[in-house]
Amino acid sequence: MEENKDNNFDNSIALWQRDKKKQDESGKKYPNYTGLLTVNGKKLNVSVWVNTDRKEGQPIMSGKIQEPMQKKTEEIPF
């Protein structure tokens, strides 16, 4: 049986710092980090926000896990 190379990253997470983009809306909070989570061979999108605890001043990370967004495909009329 041939080993799937993607299995090496099963049950793992990879995050990258998100850069600001020109199309970002002013005042809207965007994640500080985005990345991929692989669980049992299924890939999911991850977003992480970094905030500061008001009482302790310690960094707090909160996140969201979502199904990957499907790219829109335009139907070409015949």
In a domain, 72, yes or no: no
Q: What strands, in cross-sheet order, belong to the sheet with 12-17?
A: 12-17, 33-39, 42-52, 59-66
The Cα–Cα gap between 18 and 13 comes to 15
Is 12 within the bounds of a domain?
yes
Domain count for the chain, please give it.
1
**13 part of a folded domain:** yes
26-54 pLDDT, tens digit each: 999 999 999 999 999 899 999 999 998 88
Could you give the CA distance from residue 27 to residue 14 in angstroms, rounded to a whole number? 27
| Residue 5: per-residue pLDDT | 55
For residue 24, tell me if it sits in a domain. Answer: no
What is the model's pTM? 0.70
Q: Which domain holds residue 37?
A: 5-18+29-66
